[in-house]
Structure 1
Amino acid sequence: MGQPLVSVVIPCMNEEKTLGSCIGKARQALERECLEGEIIVADNSTDSSGAIAKSMGATLIIPQKKGYGNAYLEGFRHARGKYFVLADADDTYDLNETPRFLAPLLAREADFVIGSRLRGEIKKDSMPWLHRYIGNPVLTKILNWLFKTNISDAHCGMRAITREGYEKLGLRSEGMEFASEMIIEAARKNLRIKEVPIAYYPRQTPSKLHSWGDGWRHLRFMMLYNPTPFFYIPGFLLFTLGAFMTLTLAMRGNVETTGLHSFILGSMLAIIGTQMVTTGSYMKIYGILNNKIEKKGLTAKLLDYHSLEFGLLTGILLFIGGMTLGSDVVLKWISSGYGSLSEVGEAVISWC
């Protein structure tokens, strides 16, 4: 058997009612266009889905771990085609439309094609109101804003990509965030992306999506790639405001009588801001080490060996300064016979 031109990869999890229809439509579409193809079903079902795939001549793959991303990653590892088509096994996407996804790739007009349900037709009862008008549009807009893309439906499950394009992406996500990772990496690697309006049909079985949980996974994943608007900017603003309030009140003196509550609030804002910036830094370093973020600019300098030495020395000096100031407060407290002490400003600053 020769090498197929197209590999249709279908992840499956207990879809015995619809898998056969999906395989049949995919095969008919390829035969109608005279395209040599293979159909790969990455199956982790406990029902008869696997038996149906085998009986219809599809290549059955059993991923070692469950998960939307794991199913695709395992399927792609076995795919032999020059072009990959991705679609769900629930028959919500019409695989008869496969040629429309392949056409821009075959014409070399695009490297990556993604369907758009929002620019196509959403059949009645096929998409919950929350997903259609809030979840999907909001997450798509955030993705477009963060990564300079122009996608209308970032979570559409029917897609097509060239093998060469896929190999550039280095995808690793195991869960539903695989859909976001694919678009983000395509934008990072400068793949030519094109959208195809499609119809979206109702499921015949209960959905496996978890609206809030899966939505958070997508958002958390985008934070990993670009923590600046989520942590750096708000953290810096909080720290600046808190430090300004704290230092202004400390310089006025008599904090205990003139603005104790404002002083405590300022110190809390400064600490929260510092923690947010630190969290953003951890996320950015993790992203760099896992090849999700480019190592450049200030972060690259901070990761330099000499910068790390400087940071360590600075941290030690700040620690010693805080301990010295704090020790002075403790000594005054001891000398007062462990009674009441009017050193709130000095104590808070040393703690910060």
Structure 2
Amino acid sequence: MTEKVAVLLPAYNEELTIVKVIEDFKKALPHADIYVYDNNSSDRTNELAAVAGAIVRFEPRQGKGNVVRSMFREIDADYYIMADADDTYPAAEVEKLLEPLRAGLADMTIGDRLSNGTYEKENKRGFHGFGNNLVKGLINRLYRGDYNDIMTGYRGFNKLFVKTFPVLSPGFEIETELSIHALDKRFKLVEVPITYKDRPEGSESKLSTFSDGFKVLKMIFNLFKDYKPLVFFSLLTLLFFMVGLLVGIPVITEFANTGFIDKLPSAVLATGLMILAALSFVAGFILDTVVRQNRMQYELKVYDYYARSEK
């Protein structure tokens, strides 16, 4: 049985590079289907992609996450390769991403730009290296991961991962969401070092270092709350408890010495903080039970997918 490989290229105003990227993937994977999803480009991206032989589709909702959602829903294949259309990732190294998927060693493979040092040499955008390291450190610490490169856009997936992944983020947070979902649901991950080169002259990045960086941090925060509510609300409990203790100790000391409470506002505030601490702890336990049930349902969904795919 011949395997079916789909190359997924989200594109927004990439007329300078789209033809070369398509041709490079055609050389590397002659039998693959190459999909270009145009995300409201105002240049000739979709026209050039069609002439170059790609399957062109359109996503009217702006944002890379919206594009990936449509790709994962609409495209059927055995293996998927996702890359940016800006000619920064090497199509010639695509087999590095496919091999662990074919061997069953990975559900998602990650093109690691950072291990061989090419990203530091090629990337000319300020703060991107700092942002990558910050996000990597947060995710590895919060989710007990061992990622080298969180934000890479060069990834491979098997069909199981694609068809059971719920895309929530609308924009460039999608890479972060993919990484956290894979860790939380215990998918098999393999990182493979790849070479990286910066965009060619005249091609402009669509990333905004600070606004998109803030969105990524917000995504990490939200998914941490959603996936690990007991830890999240326990930290809130500790915060409320410590502040309540700080405010309440002078009140308790005063009452022990005089039998009276003159600092009534402090007493009310301390009591309120302690109540919030208790409520936060209880909420964490309840939500942890809900998340555990969700994980069980997700595992059953995966088993159901296996059963249907084997028929």
TM-score normalised by L of structure 1: 0.70
The structural deviation recorded for 1:15 is 0.5
Higher RCO by CA contacts (8 Å cutoff, separation 6 or greater): 2
Provide the rounded CA distance (Å) in 1 between the counterparts of 2:55 and 2:61.
18
The letter of the residue matching 1:173 is S
Correspondence list, 1:1-352, <5 A: 5-31=4-30, 36-44=31-39, 45-120=41-116, 121-122=118-119, 124-132=121-129, 134-204=130-200, 205-227=203-225, 232-251=233-252, 252-253=254-255, 264=266, 267=269, 271=273, 274=276, 293-295=291-293
1:158-212 deviations in Å (ceiling 9; x for gaps): 0001012222222232211111111222222222100010111111322111112
Map of 1:322 onto structure 2: none
- Local SS of the residue matching 1:160: strand
Asked whether the 8 Å contact 1:244–1:266 carries over to 2, the reply is no
The structural deviation recorded for 1:4 is 6.2
In the superposition, relative to structure 1, how do residues 76 and 246 fare at CA in structure 2: closer, same or farther (>3 Å)?
closer
Give the alignment's Cα RMSD to 1 decimal. Answer: 3.4
The letter of the residue matching 1:37 is A
Asked whether the 8 Å contact 1:231–1:280 carries over to 2, the reply is no
Provide the rounded CA distance (Å) in 2 between the counterparts of 1:269 and 1:213.
39
The structural deviation recorded for 1:71 is 1.0
Asked whether the 8 Å contact 2:241–2:274 carries over to 1, the reply is no
Equivalenced residue count is: 283
- Local SS of the residue matching 2:16: coil
Asked whether the 8 Å contact 1:242–1:269 carries over to 2, the reply is no
Asked whether the 8 Å contact 1:8–1:37 carries over to 2, the reply is yes
In the superposition, relative to structure 1, how do residues 191 and 244 fare at CA in structure 2: closer, same or farther (>3 Å)?
closer
Asked whether the 8 Å contact 2:46–2:56 carries over to 1, the reply is yes
Asked whether the 8 Å contact 1:43–1:62 carries over to 2, the reply is yes
Provide the rounded CA distance (Å) in 2 between the counterparts of 1:96 and 1:145.
33
The structural deviation recorded for 1:73 is 1.7
- Local SS of the residue matching 1:103: helix
1:257-294 deviations in Å (ceiling 9; x for gaps): 99969x74993896499399759959x95x998xxx43
The structural deviation recorded for 1:70 is 0.9
Asked whether the 8 Å contact 2:4–2:77 carries over to 1, the reply is yes
* Structure 2, gaps ≥5 residues long: 295-311
1:219-277 deviations in Å (ceiling 9; x for gaps): 2222222235985344323322333244433341599x99969x749938964993997
The structural deviation recorded for 1:22 is 0.6
Asked whether the 8 Å contact 2:237–2:277 carries over to 1, the reply is no
Asked whether the 8 Å contact 2:17–2:86 carries over to 1, the reply is yes
- Local SS of the residue matching 1:113: strand
Q: Give me the identity figure in percent.
A: 27
The structural deviation recorded for 1:116 is 0.8
In the superposition, relative to structure 1, how do residues 191 and 248 fare at CA in structure 2: closer, same or farther (>3 Å)?
closer
Asked whether the 8 Å contact 1:84–1:163 carries over to 2, the reply is yes
Asked whether the 8 Å contact 1:105–1:162 carries over to 2, the reply is yes
The letter of the residue matching 2:63 is G
The letter of the residue matching 1:240 is F
Map of 2:299 onto structure 1: none
Provide the rounded CA distance (Å) in 2 between the counterparts of 1:185 and 1:118.
21
In the superposition, relative to structure 1, how do residues 116 and 236 fare at CA in structure 2: closer, same or farther (>3 Å)?
same
- Local SS of the residue matching 1:47: coil
Larger radius of gyration: 1
In the superposition, relative to structure 1, how do residues 265 and 136 fare at CA in structure 2: closer, same or farther (>3 Å)?
farther
